[in-house]
Structure 1
Amino acid sequence: MQTPDYKTETANCVLIGRLLSRVTDKWTVLVVRVLGRGPHRFNALRREVGEISQKVLASTLRDLEENGFVSRTVTPVNPPQVEYALTDLGREFLVPIRGLAEWVLQNAARIDEARSNFALRGGAEE
């Protein structure tokens, strides 16, 4: 039996944690899911995502672009039109996002029931 390489495992955990913190917040997941249906302009994207502020959407798109998940295309008309689309990396990321979204939809009732039961028990007892 091979002994675990704790230094490598620790380095992997640090890397995974750092990257997951960049790409798994609520708005990132929702924006990627919507862009999975095709390119969108800012306001159309905002309407489809739902209760997201203009500032948060702009910040989320900037983060997604910085991390290579989204491309931003400006069409030089008056006023300029900006369209956002998933890159190859973004489309690859869409696979686990869709899986997670499907899992949430399939298990929402079970999660709600667990939360209700927890609340009935008075929450965490310490």
Structure 2
Amino acid sequence: MLQAVHHIAIICSDYPESKRFYTEILGLRIIREVYREERNSYKLDLALGDTYVIELFSFPNPPERPSYPEAAGLRHLAFSVDDVEKEVDRLRSMGVKTEPVRIDPFTERAFTFFQDPDGLPIELYEEEVFA
């Protein structure tokens, strides 16, 4: 039986830029960073709070993955926040372009999208309490 999402793996094209984005802009904490010489690849384990969230990989010349128009496969990565508008202001102050904040017609919660350095869609979704 599934218990939880263990991690999400992301392959980036510019490791230093993606490392900066996920740690300095999004604020994820580095758990460990390993250089795998045989693969000419970094693996960076990142956490959000006390939860292990993202494995960031670098590989030489990874192929691009289409995102737009809506391609088959994983659609986006979503993070919950207490206040979408406040987080949008913080991201914009750091040079991150975000879409306009919208309201989910089913949950009436605010959300928006922006992109990581490789164009991966990332969503911010105002925290919803599930019963």
Instruction: Please report the TM-score for the alignment, with normalisation by the length of structure 2.
Output: 0.26
Q: Which of 1 and 2 has greater Rg? A: 1
Say which structure is richer in helix. Answer: 1
| Higher relative strand content | 2
